[in-house]
Each structure stands twice: as structure tokens, then as C-alpha cells.
Amino acid sequence: MKVIFDKSVPGRRGVAPEPGHLGESARIPDNFRRRQSAALPELSELDVVRHFTELSRKNFGVDNGFYPLGSCTMKYNPGFTEQIAADEGFAALHPLLPQLPGGEVLVQGALEVLYECGRLLSKICGMAAFTMQPLAGAHGELTGVMIMAAYHADHGNQKRRILIADSAHGTNPASAAIAGFEVESIPSDREGVMDVKALSKTISDDVAGVMLTCPNTLGLFNRHIAEIARMVHEVDGLMYCDGANLNALLGIAQPAAIGFDIIHVNLHKTFATPHGGGGPGAGPVGVVERLVDYLPVSLVRKRPDGSYGLDYDMPKSIGYIAPFYGNFAVIVKAYAYMLRLGGEGLRRVAQMAVLNANYVRCELSGHYDFPYDRVCMHECVLSAARQARSGVKALDIAKALMDRGFHPPTMYFPTIVEEALMIEPTETESKETLDAFIAAMVEIAELVEKDPEAVKSAPRTTPVGRLDEKRAATKPDTSCLCGE
């Protein structure tokens, strides 16, 4: 496919408004204008439409293929939630609608969505209350550790350390550091989970809390979680749950019952909202009863008369952490999704997600290494260390999958697994799709044994072949070649 500049023909024009039609008030001041005309391509309107339509067909997304990225994003985006969020009653709301003289908030429907969505999340997670303000998972993490800091400051605790698993998402230590804590990594044991013995050696009165993903980023549930929670609570520390993998627990286990005090939930990960391109997301944070006073101001409250209002009387609050009330449209979609599925439907989500991941794990176990080869939750992590001995890396396998019509899985994470490939089949993929993916993975493994160079030269069927990724990372060329 030619780039749009190659399709340019001097003098060819599409439809463009005459500058005079915009009025003098719309004229860009001369000091903000280029001294020379921009080197733009010259095409007809039809050529432009066809070019971008052709580009769109080369995109890969959940609508046209299997997307096995792990610990990443929601794979199922039902259209009905988009329709509900686009309803004029929601989409046309202005965030600065005034209150009535008596303090009555005009946006009762929006407040009801916020209140009820938080209530459902509280029930799912076993928490006392949720704030719906955080704009993403990492933002929710930061909110959670800020609440942790506020709790300890309020109780006069001299806490300076937060303990984090060595398999954690990179945002965990970043959030803890931004909140002013020292971060200490705890190694994993032979089961692939936080080592209780190592934890017991470093736990002390200066520990503010422990941050854990549950299940963890290897897709494994920590059988010692109750013991870890007991150790942390004995020094008045708090248990923080990174809720990125909540898909595996829905309707089956409540994080609060397991021992967690704080959790962030990725609505774009678990509750129907697409998150392509990095946004929009939402990371509501839930807390147990003793931490409710520290939640961000304000909280949506339901009054005795059934109406809803905003509670600003929160002297111990960490304050505002987002403008207005978070990504409201994302919350609307998540609320609609939860109502549509109901309790049993959400439980079924977890059951199918876990079943699919274990099916993939078992079918691939004879062809790839599984460093922690035990029953997983909603995702599994394999190692291409066996293939690496033939010179084929995890990256090469990912490229070869592209030739077979599949989006690559997550690569090289968690970092504690050599040549890691993380696969999350999700609850929505059919057995036929999983079988096709498994067959492609097996075919690649067998090809490595026969002709490793064929795998190392992939992809060959994509619009762009193998790039020099080392050069792109170490010597990036950011200059614009437009018109040259």
C-alpha cells in the first residue's frame, strides 16, 4: 500500500471551504501561522476516503480477530453498552450544571448511576464503599496508596515502607513512590507467588502495607494470602489489591473476605469498556469500613427521601483526585454491563475465563515450558526458553503468530519468567477459536525444531515486515519526511 504522499498529484484538489467563508474572527493570527505552506498531499476527496478506509482494514482489533494479550484490557465490548452511554440523557450532560438554591443537585440520574455502580462494586469486592473518581488503573493505585498514607498519618504511625511482589505491574512501585513510600520487592517462591518466608523476614512496624495483584500477574492464586494478610495486619499495615485480574474472582471470592483493605478495579479490564490506544479507562477504588473517611471528596450519598446528593463533609479525605467525577461514560457502560449479566452472569464470566486459560495451558504444556505448571486462573504464562536454545525468542514466536492471523500475546512479562508469553483467552472466546490459536502455537513450536530461521524471519504476510527494533529504540528518527 502506498503512503498518502506517494498518491499525491500536483494540482489535484478535494472540497475545501474558501477562507473568506469563515469570517475575519476565525482568521489565525499571523504570528501563529507557518511562514511557508505545509507540504500536504494533493488528492481528490475520493482518494482520501479510499486511502483511510484501506488503512482501517489493516488494523487489528477484537472485532476481527483473537486478541490474547494478558493483564491488559477488556476483550469483549458489547454494543449495547455503547448505545446506553450515547443516550442523550447521559452524553449531553454538562459537568457544571448548577445546584438549585436549596442545594438540590439537578443531575439525579447521573448521581444514581454513580451511587448504584459503586454499590454493586462494593458487593462484588466485599468493600464498604467506593469512589468512582480515578481515571485509570494506575490512577486508582495512586489513590489507594494515598488513602493508605492518610490512614497512617491520622493514627500517628511512622510508616515508610510498602512491600511489593517481584512479579507486580510496574505501576505498583511507581504509585507507592509517588505517594512518598520506600518500595521493597519481595521475591516469588517455587509456586510463583509472594514468598511468605521472605515476607516474614522483612515485615516490621515501619511497613505501611503490601500491594498484591490477586490473582497475580502469572495468573496464579496465592494460597498463603490469608497468612500474608494476618502478618501485615499485625503491624497495623494495610493490604492493597491490584484489581487488574478481578476477572478471575467475580462472584466467587470477595477481595475483602480474603484479607484486602483497599482495591482498585479496572472497569476497562473487567466490565465491558474498550481501552484501545490507552483510554479512556476508569479505576474506582474500594475500601473497608475503617478507611471510608479517607476516600476522595466528594461521595455520592442516597438521602432518606430517595434522592441523591454529594457529601463534602469529609475532613479526613485525601481531597480531589480527578476533575468532576471521573470518566462518567465508562462508568455508565460498566453499570449497564453488570445489570445485564447479574450476579450469576458475572460468576459465569470468571468460571469461563479460568476454564479457557487452563485449556490453553494444558494443550500447550507439551510444546512450551511452564515454569509454574499448576492450575492457573484467567491467564497463563509460558516460557519460550526451550525454543530460545534454537535461537528463537519469544518475540519471534509473537511475530510468527501475526503471519497466522493472531494478535501476539503479552511478551516478556512478568520479568521473572524467561522468554515469557502471557496468554489471556478471556471468557468470551469459543473453543474453535482457542483450538485454532493452539494449533498455530503448536505449528510454530514444531517449525522451530525443523527450520528456526523461518520463524526468525516472520512476519512475511503483514503490510510491514520485520523491523530493526534495536535501531528504532536506540536511534529513533523522529524527523518529518513529509513532502521530501
User: Where along the chain do its domains lie?
Assistant: 79-339, 347-472
Could you tell me the three cell numbers for 410? 503479552
Mean of pLDDT values over 4-31: 77
Per-residue pLDDT at 24: 64
pLDDT digits (tens, 9 = 90+) for 418-451: 999 999 998 889 999 999 999 999 999 999 999 9
How many percent of the chain have pLDDT more than 90? 72
Q: Round to whole Å and give the CA distance between 324 and 22.
A: 34
80, 340 in Cβ contact below 8 A? Answer: yes
**Are domains 79-339 and 347-472 of this chain identical in fold?**
no
Burial 405-421 (b: 16+ CB within 10 A, else e): ebbbbbbbbbebbebbb
Q: How confident is the model at residue 484 (pLDDT cuts 50, 70, 90)?
A: very low
Question: Which of 141 and 34 is assigned the larger pLDDT?
Answer: 141
Mean of pLDDT values over 463-474: 84
Per-residue pLDDT at 102: 60
Mean of pLDDT values over 404-427: 93
Q: Round to whole Å and give the CA distance between 447 and 473.
A: 29
- 79-339 folds as Aspartate Aminotransferase; domain 2 (3.40.640)
pLDDT digits (tens, 9 = 90+) for 316-330: 999 999 988 888 999
Q: In the CATH scheme, what is the code of domain 347-472?
A: 3.90.1150.10
For 290, residues 6+ apart whose C-beta sits below 8 A from its C-beta are 151, 261
Q: Round to whole Å and give the CA distance between 393 and 382.
A: 12
Q: Round to whole Å and give the CA distance between 326 and 138.
A: 14
Q: Beta-strand (E) ranges in 271-357?
A: 285-287, 299-302, 308-311
Sign of CA dihedral 63, 66, 67, 71: positive
pLDDT at residue 37 tops 80? no
Per-residue pLDDT at 411: 94
Helices (H) and strands (E) in the chain, counts: 16, 12
Phi/psi of residue 279, nearest 5 degrees: 175, 170
Per-residue pLDDT at 483: 41
Q: How confident is the model at residue 482 (pLDDT cuts 50, 70, 90)?
A: very low
82, 333 in Cβ contact below 8 A? Answer: yes
pLDDT at residue 462 tops 90? no
Q: Give the global pTM.
A: 0.88
Question: Which of 25 and 32 is assigned the larger pLDDT?
Answer: 32
Closest CA to 66 of 442, 445, 458, 434: 434
Q: Within 13 Å and on the Cβ side, how many CA atoms surround 345?
A: 10
How many percent of the chain have pLDDT more than 70? 93
